[in-house]
Structure 1
């Protein structure tokens, strides 16, 4: 299908209605239509497995499903059946459900490096609770975030550090400082500069690159030496790196860690986990000041906890993490071969762990380019591939990967033409896609 003949009239109309009713036209900025080529932002009707259908009736192979949350594929039978069983039993009560006990036992068996866990509905609540707990147990005000990682929370302590800091007092933002990933010396310098002021170091334990040898162990030692709390944000690495997260894979135990995304296969459940000594400060069995750790009306909905238990069982019994890696390796090899075949191997790049692939689009000077990303996305969409990233789900099969690689090759052929012209504008079809974090709309 040629992009000149690819229109999404119903999606376009639905997007207009969304913008009239919902600020930003979506409930997550990363799902905004500004992230897609102009007038080519599909509005989804439904999904099954690795495929989704838009309201115009087009079917796509989907990557990055649910912002990495649907790692088993849409409407997974085992997860859905677990949820259905609970729906007729009630979803929320005035006292804890036995499901809360069973889900906690299951989680702590899956992530044995943690001693206690508390569930909530989204990742931001979990990371903010971790930060609050770290401040309480250390008595220190500052938070040190890894400046190389893109997102930790919607709350002020983090969003104030981004270009979208409107509405956040400077006094709040000044309490957040940043350290570079992989650089122990710079982190130690920061801890020394703010001696006895930094409550915690919070980072994703791994990202688009593997941690340098000894890095996570070194961070653990720095945190211990300077008396601060080490927090691993495992929203992405949880399950995709191993069933026990990156901490299970690399063998470095944080004080606190946060899980989400893959935990519920699209159902709303996240978790704060960690050492009993710290976590109990948010409980009733201690003599110190109480910490308002997490208290959410919907945090322990029975059907979401049932989904999480089914996800963990499926990962363990079906070797899902290994399958994600195998699918990602096949996809990465195919994309790189396609890019090389069209002479754009230095411009269309695949990066990251095989289970968590992203792509970069570089211009003729080797710089990241939103216009070239727009060109690339347009061709993928026209070929039936919805791919803001190349993050795989286990529902993909070899035919899906092969089709994706074929479409990527077609996109790379157009990419080559744009590079030769030193101007992608004729292939954009409108304004370029935009970064999520920017000051002005």
Structure 2
């Protein structure tokens, strides 16, 4: 198709999207302002590590449905399991055997989980975890780290961002902010609100890990589990856990992204902690809509109905939380993980990807201006201008040039379907993108960028 015709078709589709759907998508991370202007506004289908747009063009995909797909799109085994559950009726009037099997599967996988409630979205279960903590402890405040950008679409969290329109201040006034990897900042909140902290919620790791400075240089870091710290005796998560135990606050890990990537039993096992509550989602069912909050029995039982006379907590009640198709997909995904060392492949591919991109950036003389950040399982690329400042226009240009080569990389999420063929394709596309990147540093990015630069999701104005 002629590029001009293709772009015109894209614009027509984009217009239809924004006329029908506020924001043009059902997740802000999928919005037009998060991608180069040449990116297709719609995908039609996906298979393995690839997605196809409305013109039939194929893209090697590193977005992987916002990190929700870990085996690959349309995995035949997972699809077959979901179809088998569909034939049973999808969603019945009482709890189902599938629901019980899925709950017992998660309990068997995760050492800290004795009981579990399922839902369809991550925000549902993180908010449920906060409610559980407040019901169990009788306390008000919740602490979260400023370095982690998203926990829920509910007001208790969004009210702490610049996007406060429509949110009464009192809805988020009980959410307190500390700094990841700074135990002193968390201790200061506990000291300022003695006996009033219900919970501390955080992701175990992002590109930032709970390891002390200097650990990055150790052999094998952190491709092997880090359950104790040779430098301090405790990593940051272990420090948070100890502080929560001593203060009476619940220790909550949000494993929406780390779960089913860092380790089969969660990043909590990788880093040697046992939270009171954990939330999961995204990769647990290879893209099917399944999320979960689980934890130790004493805490989770605030939502039980089989203890006569105890005060009731309306914990989490969702019609579609126990939909059998998604839960069947989760059970099958867990089976594949057990039998095929999926997490081992994700670590290995990420390590190769980081090495290849780092080498090519150096070959183009761009080591100071294009960097790969984070451990192999959680990579991020950082783009810098000629002054060394982080640059969103250059990030957009890099993603734009990869798109021209058939690679979509808004961020880096790897699946089991990414193999050596995909690695080679990525390196070839990356090499060409670096050529343009180097020229843009010299001549100015605006001469090469087609359309506006991507923008932060959490900004007060469009």
Q: Normalising by structure 1, report the TM-score.
A: 0.97
* Correspondence for 2:171: 172
Q: Structure 1 residue 433: deviation in Å?
A: 1.1
- Gap regions ≥5 residues in structure 2: 212-228
Classify the secondary structure of the residue corresponding to 2:334: helix
8 Å CA contact 1:357, 1:392 repeated in 2:
no
Which aligned runs of 4 or more in structure 1 are off by greater than 6 angstroms?
Answer: 3-6
Classify the secondary structure of the residue corresponding to 2:81: helix
1:306 has 2:344 as partner: no
* Correspondence for 1:135: 134
For residues 382 and 6 of structure 2, the distance between their equivalents in structure 1, rounded to whole angstroms, comes to 25
Aligned pair partner of 1:411 in 433, 446, 453: 433
* Correspondence for 1:95: 94
8 Å CA contact 1:358, 1:391 repeated in 2:
no
For residues 183 and 76 of structure 1, the distance between their equivalents in structure 2, rounded to whole angstroms, comes to 41
8 Å CA contact 1:9, 1:56 repeated in 2:
no
For residues 335 and 23 of structure 1, the distance between their equivalents in structure 2, rounded to whole angstroms, comes to 37
Aligned pair partner of 2:353 in 311, 327, 331: 331
1:440 has 2:461 as partner: yes
8 Å CA contact 1:53, 1:60 repeated in 2:
yes
For residues 313 and 119 of structure 1, the distance between their equivalents in structure 2, rounded to whole angstroms, comes to 18
* Correspondence for 1:160: 159
For residues 404 and 165 of structure 1, the distance between their equivalents in structure 2, rounded to whole angstroms, comes to 39
* Correspondence for 1:400: 422
* Correspondence for 1:217: 238
For residues 128 and 247 of structure 2, the distance between their equivalents in structure 1, rounded to whole angstroms, comes to 21
8 Å CA contact 1:11, 1:56 repeated in 2:
no
Classify the secondary structure of the residue corresponding to 2:336: helix
Map of 1:16-55 to 2, 5 A cutoff?
Answer: 16-55=15-54
For residues 52 and 29 of structure 2, the distance between their equivalents in structure 1, rounded to whole angstroms, comes to 19
* Correspondence for 2:76: 77
* Correspondence for 1:199: 198
Q: Structure 1 residue 370: deviation in Å?
A: 1.2
Q: Normalising by structure 2, report the TM-score.
A: 0.92
- Gap regions ≥5 residues in structure 1: none
String of CA shifts for 1:217-269, please: whole Å, max 9, x gaps. Answer: 11111001111111000001101010111111112000000000001111000
* Correspondence for 2:215: none
Q: Structure 1 residue 41: deviation in Å?
A: 3.5
Q: Structure 1 residue 39: deviation in Å?
A: 4.2
8 Å CA contact 2:112, 2:276 repeated in 1:
no
Q: Which moved more, 1:270-279 or 1:161-170?
A: 161-170
1:274 has 2:301 as partner: no
8 Å CA contact 2:120, 2:290 repeated in 1:
yes
1:343 has 2:365 as partner: yes
